[in-house]
Amino acid sequence: MEYTVPDRDGNGNGELIRLITTITDPTAAPAAALAESYHQRWEHETANGQIKTVLRGPGRVLRSKSPDMVRQELYGYLLTHYAISALICRAATEADIDPDRVKFTRTVRIVRRRFADPAAFSP
């Protein structure tokens, strides 16, 4: 099955995707449903990569030792990712651009600089 992903860079070129599957019955899984689920899978993979490499840092392991604390640390990463993603969506909406065009890594750097600035918070 082939389908085109709309252009993200704004140069008018879409990307042709070829999806190969072992599902041969089109009523069991229509092509449009397969294309959408493939796209959603990569959205999740991208989010997982952002948490593992951008927020936590490459090669770093969780600090917690007990299962409850590991769970709490993971929830912290998930909530941080959600907050930054919500910030990206809000900024993109106000700028009238697609949120996918706002870089997650760059946003994290801006947020970290802002929180490190003592003048950002009143005493």
For the chain, 123 residues long, give each residue's pLDDT as a single digit of tens: 777 777 666 666 777 778 888 888 888 888 888 888 887 888 888 888 899 889 888 788 888 899 999 999 999 999 999 999 999 999 999 999 988 889 999 999 999 888 777 776 666
What predicted TM-score, i.e. pTM, was given to this entire model?
0.69
Q: 42 exposed, middle or buried (CB, 10 Å; 0-12, 13-18, 19+)?
A: exposed
Q: Which residues pair with 15 in a beta bridge?
A: 5
The pLDDT of residue 67 is: 94
The pLDDT of residue 11 is: 65
The pLDDT of residue 123 is: 60
The pLDDT of residue 94 is: 95
The number of beta carbons lying within 10 Å of the beta carbon of residue 59 is 7
The pLDDT of residue 12 is: 63
Token pair, residue 79, equals: 């909530």
H/E/C letters for each residue in 23-52?
A: CCCCCCCCHHHHHHHHHHHHHHHHHHHHHH
**108 contacts 54 by C-beta, under 8 angstroms:** yes
